[in-house]
Amino acid sequence: MSASDALLERVRSGGEVPRHIAVIMDGNGRWAQERHLPRPIGHREGMKAVREAVEGSLAAGVEVLTLFAFSEENWNRPPMEIGALMALLEEYIARETAELRASGVEAHVLGDLSRLQPRAREALDRLLAETRGGTKLLLNLAISYSSRAEIARAARRLAEDVLQGRLALEDVDEDAVSLHLQTAGLPDPDLLVRTSGEQRISNFLLWQLAYTELHITPVLWPDFTRQHLFEAILDYQGRERRFGRVTA
């Protein structure tokens, strides 16, 4: 039995598996820099880790996997790097869509896609259409995503609903806000994994992460494997989640 299989057995017997895992995929550039390679090479290597995370989630029985692929702030990076990232997105979709569909993965996208080039938008539309109906894992790709912008949009929509008489002011509560977020209908993440050792949330799912367990690993994203995912789940299974309450 491989080390990965042994860890998976421990996960399966270790208690409740997180329904929703969110991942901040960090460290591609540092991985390339350490090897004196161009940053886009690090991003390309990171594609392998995406497959590891998806396959590991399927094996462990995770219901929702949300990957932070590209933030709104990332548009401030050099145009050459942005172009390389968009090309890799198209390549990932071309290479992985059939396998995702066969594995029962349904893909969704979080974020403002208005700034994407037509080819990238078309590729994403194809991914969503061809994986629709998958029942094993819901895969959220956060692309051109900003949590503050998401919350601001939800606030504007709630204000419009109140102004138009569709919603009473006293009914604007936490549930109402959640229903206007892009994750409406999904469970909040139980576990957030951040690679590369950085200890920041980075404007990712700020509302949804209110009571999420955090697992920070020094592993750079291109080196991340399903074994690291299983280790994060085992860490989660060893914690007591109180949600602000006091246990007896």
Number of domains into which the chain is organized: 1
Is 15 within the bounds of a domain? no
Is 18 within the bounds of a domain? no
165's CB contacts (< 8 A; 6+ apart) are none
Is 10 within the bounds of a domain? no
Is 81 within the bounds of a domain? yes
Active site (catalytic) residues:
26, 74
pLDDT at 245 over 80: no
* DSSP code per residue over 13-41: HSSPPPSEEEEE---HHHHHHHTT--HHH
pLDDT at 247 over 70: no
Q: In whole angstroms, what is the distance from residue 73 CA to residue 16 CA?
A: 35
Tell the burial category of 165 from Cβ atoms under 10 Å away from its Cβ (0-12, 13-18, 19+): exposed
pLDDT tens, position by position, 16-52: 999 999 999 999 999 999 999 999 999 999 999 999 9
Amino acid 123 reads A
Is 70 within the bounds of a domain? yes
pTM: 0.95
**What do you get for the CA distance between the two ends of the chain, in Å?**
40
The number of beta carbons lying within 10 Å of the beta carbon of residue 227 is 18
Is 98 within the bounds of a domain? yes
Question: What is the residue-averaged pLDDT of the chain?
Answer: 95
pLDDT tens, position by position, 90-132: 999 999 999 999 999 999 999 999 999 999 999 999 999 999 9
Q: What are phi and psi of 187, to 5 degrees?
A: -70, 145
CATH number at residue 85: 3.40.1180.10
Contact predicate 152/203, CB 8 Å: no
Is 3 within the bounds of a domain? no
State the average pLDDT over residues 143-166: 97
227's CB contacts (< 8 A; 6+ apart) are 3, 4, 7, 56
Q: Domain containing 134: what range?
A: 25-145+187-236
Tell the burial category of 15 from Cβ atoms under 10 Å away from its Cβ (0-12, 13-18, 19+): exposed
pLDDT tens, position by position, 85-100: 999 999 999 999 999 9
